[in-house]
Structure 1
């Protein structure tokens, strides 16, 4: 997930080409790519034809080597072989990406350097509000129409911002908790059991201070367990929330969190500053529980956690969010961007993401043919990984972006400072 907000106008744009007399193209020169205005994007065959031979750029955070390797060795060859589309992965910080996009848009560059972007949250909202994105486009995508539930809150909203077809979901993440099964035989799967667990392991349980995204997500899981999934998910679609409106929803959950304090590390008088600190405390044996987005299978496989590590989620569910793909308003290769995005959300590629990156699929499993459903079910899992169908059946939509700082403020006032 990208962080940051929309950057300002970037300076130093390229100088325009010098004017001069036009030269006729040689007879064997390749035909010019069709202009976007000449393509009927609702005709998928026309999109495929227009995309042939195009090189499409995918901009996004480049710090995940496993993801980069998957894109370059699995997705890119498939696009080339099946559609004659060349995929160029451009890894950049999101603030630099948005500076580049906004600079080109504000300078009136009709064909920019960015085709599509890995984006979500406030960055999507800012780009869409400034008309920096092209769309709506999801209705053009066969795989979106066939395999994704368009009425899912996680498709309709991106941290509370209506997507309105300007984004296609790419992958999901979901909170999980883990423990050493040699020390803990019965993990707490309800909020009632979690309170008892904290009492039994007094001083050995805590969570990152909300403000850290894992800390905020963890208290969201507990609050959702107290008030119920349906009530908590009211927070996911609040675009202009007031403190009073948020408090009305979460008050019972805040009361519960306050009741936990006497049994937590340092009796809840203070909380670790971030998830890295909690991870270190857990690895050192100071804590009996840790939490984060996704299972810690890689930590087990690299020997950082014992093979007896196991994961669990609450029966009431755990919060999750989605990453999205959006197309720049001045993308020079919109047809190829559509083809690439459509391929990412194909059953074949979503299965590959699940197999290779442990990413949760954005597809609605019930819409898939039985053989594809079985293929997902047959993926071998590590000891810490929870089956996909179990995760999706216990998934709670996160609070919207505007709600998050309010929730953190309420926690600080009613839990930390109580």
Structure 2
């Protein structure tokens, strides 16, 4: 009987030991799977990603971009790397909410691979350890074609990137107006106020926190508060920020009575403002898309007499980026896709088809590659790229943006 009991105990101990080993082996295998991308060469990544699917989550409100991603970029990825690109249109707050939920649930093979992101959303996601990186040092096209010393590449809304994002496209805030409906071109904030007085009720901007409305307000802050320098190292203290931007708040309140609906309310999105301009309800529109006028004129959305303009002191520009979810199930595929997005061929295609400012450094291109960009016809109603970029102002630090938006809501709306 004692031998039988001893035999049972021995068997149980062996079973538990084997189970523990199996568990540890499984954990080691999982850890190895999740960490092996760090040990791969780029050629290894291409082999690993072959036949896989990469999900690309990002704002889906730009139909021109959606079409280009589906009809140009996705076929390119399939042909070159046998990678299927799955575009998932979703607002960034929803994307980060989904990613946060997956991380909290400890979902190791997440649904999100690539993310279109920048600004305060990047800062928040990175600080919550929701992003994978650093990874840009592993991408050949990043070192070969990107100006890796540029502030546009190293800082996102003044927040250090440290290899957790790769550049996707450049944006710059511009105004546009219908020259047939309004001949004057405001060169500064004061002239803009006079413009709004003359065309009372025919000018407005989107309600913050819409990204276009928000950048307009920041641009007015730069114009009326002595430039951008004081904000670059400012703490996100509400009282401090409010005191610094008080001249802009006074200006915006003074502007209100001459805006659409008397400034008592604002359109809820830049898309709404665009439609109002297209329908002739507004004589002026504003956008982060430096060459949107050409696209709108070409497809009949905007009047043919549309013309883009900037303030003399310049307008805010930024870079939008691609990041990788920390729990991405296909990090190798995401890196191959991001690397391809930074290729001269793809950037030239975006420049031609969507009039998106390229992120590649012109000085790093071959003569043949330069021709691809030089031969692009930007279309009508736009500002030449050299002039546009010569008046490019930096974005405010990411932590100040929501504070400014909150103050605007309290101080400007309906006042």
Question: Normalising TM by the smaller chain, what interval?
Answer: 0.7 to 0.9
| C-alpha distance after superposition, 1:303-337 (max 9, x if no partner) | 44321111112222222333321112232322222
Q: Could you tell me how far apart the structure 2 residues matched to 1:251 and 1:347 are? A: 44
Q: 1:146 aligns with which of 144, 147, 163?
A: 144
Q: Does 1:290 align with 2:288?
A: no
Q: Does 1:379 align with 2:376?
A: yes
Q: Could you tell me how far apart the structure 2 residues matched to 1:134 and 1:231 are? A: 32
Q: Could you tell me how far apart the structure 2 residues matched to 1:86 and 1:304 are? A: 32
* Counterpart in the other structure of 2:330: 333
Q: Does 1:272 align with 2:269?
A: no
1:165 CA displacement: 1.3
Number of residue pairs aligned between Structure 1 and Structure 2:
383
Q: 2:112 aligns with which of 85, 89, 114?
A: 114
Q: Could you tell me how far apart the structure 2 residues matched to 1:310 and 1:338 are? A: 39
Q: Does 1:311 align with 2:308?
A: yes
1:349 CA displacement: 0.8
Q: Could you tell me how far apart the structure 1 residues matched to 2:155 and 2:172 are? A: 16
2:163 is paired with a residue whose SS is: coil
CA RMSD of aligned residues (A): 3.5
| C-alpha distance after superposition, 1:125-168 (max 9, x if no partner) | 34323323211111111222233234444433334543221111
Q: Could you tell me how far apart the structure 2 residues matched to 1:271 and 1:348 are? A: 44
1:75 is paired with a residue whose SS is: helix
Q: 2:130 aligns with which of 104, 126, 132?
A: 132
Q: Does 1:223 align with 2:211?
A: no
1:325 is paired with a residue whose SS is: strand
* Counterpart in the other structure of 1:181: 179
Question: CA 1:242 to 1:333, structure 2 compared with 1: closer, same or farther past 3 Å?
Answer: same
1:134 is paired with a residue whose SS is: coil
| C-alpha distance after superposition, 1:33-81 (max 9, x if no partner) | x945445557333433443444333233445443233223222232233
Question: CA 1:220 to 1:108, structure 2 compared with 1: closer, same or farther past 3 Å?
Answer: closer
Q: Does 1:358 align with 2:355?
A: yes
| C-alpha distance after superposition, 1:160-214 (max 9, x if no partner) | 5432211112123322211222344441233354345445555654434544433
Question: CA 1:133 to 1:170, structure 2 compared with 1: closer, same or farther past 3 Å?
Answer: same
Q: 2:240 aligns with which of 238, 245, 265?
A: 245
1:356 CA displacement: 1.4
Q: Could you tell me how far apart the structure 2 residues matched to 1:205 and 1:92 are? A: 29
Contact 1:153 1:397 in 2 (8 A): no
Q: Could you tell me how far apart the structure 2 residues matched to 1:269 and 1:39 are? A: 53
* Counterpart in the other structure of 2:29: none
* Counterpart in the other structure of 2:103: 105
Contact 1:175 1:320 in 2 (8 A): yes
Structure 1 range deviating more: 202-211 or 169-178 = 202-211
* Counterpart in the other structure of 2:27: none
Contact 1:268 1:416 in 2 (8 A): no
Q: Could you tell me how far apart the structure 1 residues matched to 2:405 and 2:134 are? A: 33
Larger Rg: 1 or 2? 2
1:243 CA displacement: 2.5
Contact 1:39 1:50 in 2 (8 A): no
* Structure with the largest fraction of helix: 2
Q: Could you tell me how far apart the structure 2 residues matched to 1:203 and 1:38 are? A: 59
| C-alpha distance after superposition, 1:335-376 (max 9, x if no partner) | 222111011011111111121122222233344345434432
* Structure 2: gaps (5+ residues): 1-18, 23-31
* Counterpart in the other structure of 1:394: 391
Q: Does 1:58 align with 2:53?
A: no
Contact 1:134 1:328 in 2 (8 A): yes
2:173 is paired with a residue whose SS is: strand
Contact 1:118 1:324 in 2 (8 A): yes
* Structure 1: gaps (5+ residues): 1-18, 23-33
Q: Could you tell me how far apart the structure 1 residues matched to 2:214 and 2:114 are? A: 30
